[in-house]
Amino acid sequence: MADLKKCSAHITSQVCLETDIYSMWLKFNEDENIALNAVPGQFISLYSKAGNRLLPRPISICEINASECMLRIVYRVVGSGTNEFSKLLPGDTINIMGPLGNGFTLNKGKAVLVGGGIGIPPMLELAKRLSEDCGVSVVLGYRDNRLFLKEEFEPYADVYVSTEDGSVGTKGNVIDAIKENKLDADTIYACGPIPMLRGVKDYAKENEIKAQISLEEKMACGIGACLGCVCKSKDKDLHSNVNNKRVCKDGPVFDAEDVRLGD
């Protein structure tokens, strides 16, 4: 990976997709075009302009347009930092570092992509890339009928939905939707909350399917130095010599069997 440094990005658009869910397109100068090196599953760190918010906010990459020097993020407002970002307007600038972490490995064969909640956005660029060579199905898990981004997946995949309240699609979780629609795959790719990822890992193991999962975790440095975002791993980490992996540096994407999710 090339040496990382902060660069400035211009906001070209920002829209509210649903309550507290925002979509932002960022444009970079050609000599600082971090979109050239970005792959599905990676993230960027966004820096606040407020002096009392020193740590950057990690946000997954939703779409990549390398030729136009642009990246898209879709994020949820959960605190003061993301609330600040949601107030930015086209023409404003923001400091960025990235792309960070390891992304998904694109395998041949049938693919099922699973996204839950704010784990849905990073699956969009993955769906676009896989649709070029593979048959793709996407399962999106929502709490209710606020189906942000659903229609954007439809040009690239067969899209299925689960909702906790049963208002749309399968009533229940993403595994219920996979079973109800009898979806099969050579590889499952997933991003979302830990209970969902645990279900995906168990389902994949039971059905002898390869699985890659992207972990959501609070981060501090975002570059693997502080060990603030470790997860339990099957093997020892060469950096710390314990059974931990750094989500920001070694992940956020892992082979499902390489990490422990409370199992």
DSSP code per residue over 20-62:
TEEEEEEEE-GGG-GGGG--TT-EEEEE-SSTT--S-EEEE--
* Residue-level pLDDT at 3: 56
Q: Are 250 and 258 in contact (CB under 8 A)?
A: no
User: What average pLDDT does the chain have?
Assistant: 90
Residues near 11 by beta carbon (within 8 Å), at least 6 away in sequence:
24, 25, 26, 27, 88, 89, 90, 91, 92, 93, 94
pLDDT at residue 228 in the model: 61
State residue 218's pLDDT score: 62
Measure the N-to-C terminal CA separation of the chain; round to a whole number of Å: 32
Q: Please list the residues that pair with 189 across neighbouring strands.
A: 113, 212
**Partners of 76 in the beta sheet?**
21
pLDDT of residue 245: 72
The parts of the chain modelled with pLDDT lower than 70 are 1-3, 217-243, 249, 251, 262-263
Which of these, 61, 11, 58, lies nearest to 37 by C-alpha position?
A: 61
Contact of 114 with 200, CB cutoff 8 Å: yes
Place of tokens 């307007």: 89
Which domains are delineated in the chain? 7-100 (2.40.30.10), 111-216+255-260 (3.40.50.80)
| Calpha distance 57→83 (Å, rounded) | 11
- Tell which residue, 223, 215, 153, has the closest CA to residue 189: 215
Residue with tokens 């997709």: 17
For residue 67, the tally of other CB atoms under 10 A from its CB is 9
- Cβ–Cβ under 8 Å, residues 125 and 104: no
Pairing of the two strands 158-163 and 170-171: parallel
